[in-house]
Amino acid sequence: MGLFYVHAGDEYYSFFLDCEEGSACTILLRGGSKDVLNEVERNILLEGKVVPGGGATEMALAARLLHKAKSIDSVHQYAYRAVAASLEVIPRTLAQNCGANVVKVMTDLRASHSRIDCPIAACMGINGKTGEITNMRDLMVWDCLTVKQQVYKTAIEAAAMLLRIDDVLSGLRKDTKGGEGGEGGAVEDMETFGDSRDG
């Protein structure tokens, strides 16, 4: 059995290696702040499921949505395509942040995720240090499943709300000068915010 110390952040950790039939384990969590770290710890304790990070989960979902869109003949396919395109923003941003060739990386990443039935393909994401496409399982980069579910749910709800607001605004008729005349006389213009009647 080997023993050594590792300094991580402000703490020292003891690592025991080559133990025979060892049953104890330690999960080392890191986060940008203590609040983020506490949230990660709480999510892991409540829901122990994780998904690959590095944009792998988003690309896997986008590939499946595009595959589903191809099987739909109606205009509903555009909703699937729009969500798939929005999911690809996350790996694209990761590629930009590490200085990689975004077009090449995204093309290669789409190609690797085109095999939607391959479990290894679903783990292919972007290495944040090198910008290369790597198996996130090998890098041990994971995200909490509950966090991902909440992110997607919130994003879809926000998009749906914006679409509803846009539908209401496009339904309003445009303001015309002097009103519209008819047999009953002039119809007063619809008031809008910021016009001359606001004082």
What distances in angstroms separate CA 9 from CA 28, 42, 44, 143, 174, one per listed residue?
Answer: 11, 20, 21, 21, 60
Q: Where in the chain is the domain with CATH 1.10.560.10?
A: 51-164
pLDDT digits (tens, 9 = 90+) for 99-157: 889 999 999 999 999 888 888 888 999 998 888 999 999 998 988 888 889 889 999 99
Contacts of 162 (CB under 8 A, 6+ apart): none
Do 192 and 176 meet the contact criterion of CB atoms below 8 Å apart? no
For domain 51-164, the CATH architecture is: Orthogonal Bundle (1.10)
Interstrand relation of 180-182 and 142-144 (parallel, antiparallel or unpaired): unpaired
Vertex 87: Cα angle to 86 and 91 (nearest 5): 115
What integer pLDDT is reported at residue 177 of this predicted model? 45
pLDDT digits (tens, 9 = 90+) for 180-199: 544 444 444 444 544 554 44
Share of the chain above pLDDT 70, in %: 73
156 residue type, one letter: I
Q: Three-class SS of residue 137? A: helix
Q: How far apart are CA 109 and CA 125, in angstroms?
A: 7
